[in-house]
């Protein structure tokens, strides 16, 4: 299922004194099966954009296509459930998607809505808990009596259980501890590849965009500012700085080595281990400043 | 220096029959000190924050804020001294507009009208939200909500400010700006700062770090001392910043870094001492 935005604008509270244009003429084409990172400063329109993907908000003008499902300003959404079955969204604040009495009921809520047999869900729960690293004894607790990071994990499990064809993640690592961040992002990537899923990641982590995405869309004040493969986007430090963003830390580090020591190591996605080795070798060989 | 706040052998659980969320937790925070609290999800960080300003009370042990023992009778005095930015800003908003929200805390603290206006302007400007005075807090973007929540507490300028993952939704530049603002406030006023965070670079701003693990204090030390515990940190769900990781590898390849750099500048400076030809 390709995703196509065609000149999409979105205005909040139109025709009131509070009218606010959050998206302006946004167009792009996301190929089925790709992993796209959406980046932009606070308030640039990222969350507004992704809420179009399951019809939570509609364009004020323009058109959104998800596979053959078309969303236009004029028409009422029809069979919106068929869309929501395919597009799973993990919201920016997990509190906004938790509401049941127990964690178990919360995770089962989506499937129930789509008439998936309870036994099927029950069978999947252990594997889901493992994916988000929660213990089984959490199932009977209230999702509101959990720590922030635990809530985040429940919210993620509640979306994964649906096996959505398109998985949309709005800053999914906020609130996760460092191990959780790494392992859950790796898990998303694994399923992305195995299931040929389309994954859309809204993130402030340039590192994650660089590591996982094959395409990056940069937003600025409601408009698409740049798009392309991560390595190309992150070459242009100045362009990013102009819209309040920065390049990934590892590239900053390599740039500093270059300007201070004239050591030039191109970034090709090396691990820290590999990178450190290359840097050490360069220093030892003596390709250093004169 | 004297202690601003002290935890003495604190035990806390949310419900009868549950496990302790905090087990024998003791520490203190000095006047004007900046302490970071880190730890895996569910290790007890937010619980500590809520105990600090009397939203929760321990079953065992004692918490002191200056000369006050924190209990039901003292909470109003404690809350005048201890302000908190919550992990989820929606839990904190009281005003129907951004400007009302910031004003609310100031009114509560009996700040005179003239002074209020200055403080509102300054704090909203400090977080780059000066264009959003009349917006509804609940209709802001995720990061904008966090900025307003921070402004509301900064405006009141309590003696201890707790930031519970208050910058988690900000872009890296936004995060850095807030950290600088906090740094400035601390330099000009006698305030103590507690930052609860999973952002390892944010940890490097602190004077001291308390590492929590399964409800207990696992380690206390400077950021440099904490990040020396590389493998051990990974075992308890944490990690070290990029600079520390690169330094590790460089050292294992025979590059002798002396003082365990914790930011880019320190690393570059050390390499410069070793490899530039004078
Ligand atoms: N309201 C509550 N009722 C019952 N248990 C709770 C409640 N809030 C937290 N807990 C439990 O207490 C423990 C400590 O939670 P706390 O919120 O202090 O963790 P934290 O270190 O802040 O974690 P995170 O990094 O995920 O925010 C966790 O096991 C959590 O499930
Ligand atoms: N419900 C709403 N009503 C009115 N304005 C809104 C609403 N939600 C968002 N906005 C405004 O629209 C703009 C875009 O918001 P959006 O939430 O899409 O930003 P974002 O890129 O996700 O930001 P962040 O990184 O802070 O989460 C912001 O300026 C915000 O104030
Ligand atoms: Mg957002
Ligand atoms: Mg917490």
B257 class by beta-carbon count within 10 Å (0-12 exposed, 13-18 middle, 19+ buried): middle
Mutate one of B128, B130, B198 to test the A interface: name it (highest A CB count within 10 A).
B198
**Minimal Cβ distance to B41: which of A92, A177, A250:** A177
- Please check whether residue B1 touches A, CB under 8 A: no
- Indicate if ligand 2 lies below 6 Å from the C-beta of A47: yes
**Domain membership flag for residue B79:** yes
Q: What is the DSSP letter of B84?
A: E
Per-residue pLDDT band at A269 (split at 50, 70, 90): confident
CATH (residue range A32-45+79-245): 3.40.50.300
Considering the domain boundaries, does residue B41 fall inside one? yes
Q: How far is the CA of B115 from the centre of ligand 3 (A)?
A: 33
Would you say residue A53 has pLDDT above 70?
Answer: yes
Whats the size of chain B, residue-wise?
A: 278
**C-beta separation of A103 from A138 below 8 A:** yes
CA dist list (Å): B165 to A106, B150, B195, B201, B270: 25, 11, 7, 13, 32
ipTM of the complex: 0.94
Domain presence at residue B265: no
Terminal CA-CA length for chain A: 55
C-beta neighbour count of B275 within 10 angstroms: 17
The residue-averaged pLDDT of A127-155 equals: 96
Q: Tell whether B193 is covered by a domain.
A: yes
B144 Cα to the center of ligand 3, angstroms: 9
Out of B97, B124, B144, B168, mutate this one to test ligand 2's pocket (max ligand atoms within 8 Å of CB): namely B144
CA atoms within 13 A on the CB side of B208: 16
What is the C-alpha to C-alpha distance for residues B37 and B206, in angstroms, rounded to an integer?
9
| Full domain range(s) for residue B105 | 3-223
B252 neighbourhood in chain A, CB within 8 Å: 276
Strand, helix or coil for residue A198: strand
Question: Shortest CA distance to B88 belongs to which of B155, B161, B165, B151?
Answer: B165
Q: CB A280 to CB B255 under 8 A?
A: yes
Determine the distance in angstroms separating the CA of A58 from the nearest CA of chain B, rounded to an integer.
Answer: 17
A289 has a pLDDT exceeding 50: no
Nearest chain B Cα distance for residue A289, angstroms:
7
Q: Is residue B93 part of a domain?
A: yes
**Domain annotation covers residue B257:** no
For residue B278, what pLDDT is reported?
45
Instruction: Put the strands of the sheet holding A198-202 in their side by side order.
Output: A87-90, A166-170, A198-202, A35-40, A215-220, A223-228
Residue B16 covered by a domain: yes
- CATH number of the CATH domain containing B174: 3.40.50.300
What's the total number of domains in chain B?
Answer: 1
B195 lines ligand 1 (CB under 6 A): no
Q: What is the pLDDT confidence band of residue A115, given thresholds at 50, 70 and 90? A: confident
Domain ranges of chain A: 32-45+79-245, 248-290
In this predicted structure, the answer to whether residue A236 has a pLDDT above a threshold of 70 is: yes
- Report chain B (278 residues): mean pLDDT per 10 consecutive residues: 90 93 98 97 98 96 96 94 92 92 92 94 95 94 96 94 95 90 91 96 95 98 94 94 94 90 94 78
Is the residue at B134 inside a domain?
yes
Contact B271 A153 (CB under 8 A): no
**Span from the CA of B249 to the centroid of ligand 4 (angstroms):** 32
Distance of alpha carbon A225 from alpha carbon A4, whole angstroms: 17
A149/B169 Cβ within 8 A:
no
Q: Would you tell me which residues 173-192 of chain A have a C-beta closer than 8 angstroms to some C-beta of chain B? A: 174-182
Cβ neighbour number for residue B267 with a 10 Å cutoff: 22
User: Could you tell me the distance, in angstroms and rounded to a whole number, from the CA of residue A27 to the centre of ligand 3?
Assistant: 19
Q: Is the pTM of this model over 0.90?
A: yes
Is the predicted pLDDT of residue A65 greater than 90, yes or no? yes
């Amino acid at each position: 299922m390709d995703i196509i935005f065609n000149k999409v604008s979105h205005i909040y509270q139109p025709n009131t004194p509070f009218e606010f244009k959050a998206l302006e003429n946004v167009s792009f084409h996301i190929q089925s099966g790709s992993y796209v990172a959406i980046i932009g400063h606070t308030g640039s329109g990222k969350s507004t954009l992704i809420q179009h993907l399951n019809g939570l908000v509609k364009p004020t003008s323009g058109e959104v296509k998800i596979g053959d499902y078309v969303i236009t300003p004029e028409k009422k959404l029809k069979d919106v459930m068929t869309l929501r079955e395919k597009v799973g969204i993990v919201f920016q604040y997990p509190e906004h998607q938790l509401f049941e009495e127990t964690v178990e009921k919360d995770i089962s809520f989506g499937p129930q809505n789509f008439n998936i047999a309870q036994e099927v869900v029950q069978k999947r729960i252990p594997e889901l808990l493992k994916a988000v690293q929660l213990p089984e004894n959490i199932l009977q607790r209230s999702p509101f009596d959990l720590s922030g990071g635990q809530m985040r994990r429940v919210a993620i499990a509640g979306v994964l259980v649906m096996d959505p064809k398109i998985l949309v993640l709005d800053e999914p690592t906020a609130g996760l501890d460092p191990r959780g961040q790494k392992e859950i992002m790796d898990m998303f990537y694994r399923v992305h590849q195995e299931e040929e899923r389309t994954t859309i990641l809204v993130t402030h982590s340039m590192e994650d965009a660089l590591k996982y995405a094959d395409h990056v869309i940069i937003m600025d004040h409601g408009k698409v500012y740049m798009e392309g493969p991560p390595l190309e986007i992150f070459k242009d430090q100045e362009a990013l700085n102009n819209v309040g963003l920065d390049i990934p830390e590892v590239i900053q580090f390599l740039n500093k080595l270059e300007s201070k020591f004239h050591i030039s190591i191109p970034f090709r996605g090396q691990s820290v281990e590999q990178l450190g080795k290359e840097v050490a070798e360069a220093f030892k060989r003596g390709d250093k400043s004169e | 220096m004297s202690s601003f706040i002290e935890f003495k052998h604190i035990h806390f659980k949310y419900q009868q029959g549950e496990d302790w969320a905090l087990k024998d937790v003791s520490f203190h925070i000095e006047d004007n000190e900046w302490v970071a609290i880190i730890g895996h999800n569910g290790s007890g960080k937010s619980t500590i924050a809520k105990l600090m300003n009397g939203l929760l009370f321990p079953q065992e042990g004692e918490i002191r804020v200056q000369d006050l023992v924190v209990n039901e009778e003292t909470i109003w005095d404690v809350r005048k001294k201890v302000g908190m930015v919550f992990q989820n800003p929606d839990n904190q908003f009281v005003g129907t507009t951004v400007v009302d929200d910031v004003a609310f805390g100031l009114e509560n603290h009996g700040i005179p009208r003239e002074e209020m206006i200055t403080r509102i302007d300054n704090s909203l400007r400090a977080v780059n939200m000066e264009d959003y005075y009349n917006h509804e807090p609940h209709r802001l973007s995720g990061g904008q909500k966090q900025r307003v929540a921070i402004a509301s507490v900064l405006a009141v300028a309590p003696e201890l400010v707790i930031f519970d993952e208050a910058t988690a939704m900000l872009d890296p530049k936004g995060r850095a700006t807030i950290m600088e603002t906090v740094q400035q406030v601390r330099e000009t006023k006698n305030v103590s700062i507690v930052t609860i965070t999973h952002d390892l670079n944010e940890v490097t701003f602190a004077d001291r770090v308390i590492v929590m693990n399964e409800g207990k204090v696992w380690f206390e030390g400077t950021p440099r001392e904490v990040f020396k515990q590389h493998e051990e940190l990974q075992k308890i769900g944490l990690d070290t910043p990029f600079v520390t990781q690169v330094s590790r590898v460089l050292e294992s390849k025979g590059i002798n870094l002396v003082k365990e750099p914790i930011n880019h500048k320190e690393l570059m400076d050390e390499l410069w001492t070793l490899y530039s030809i004078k």
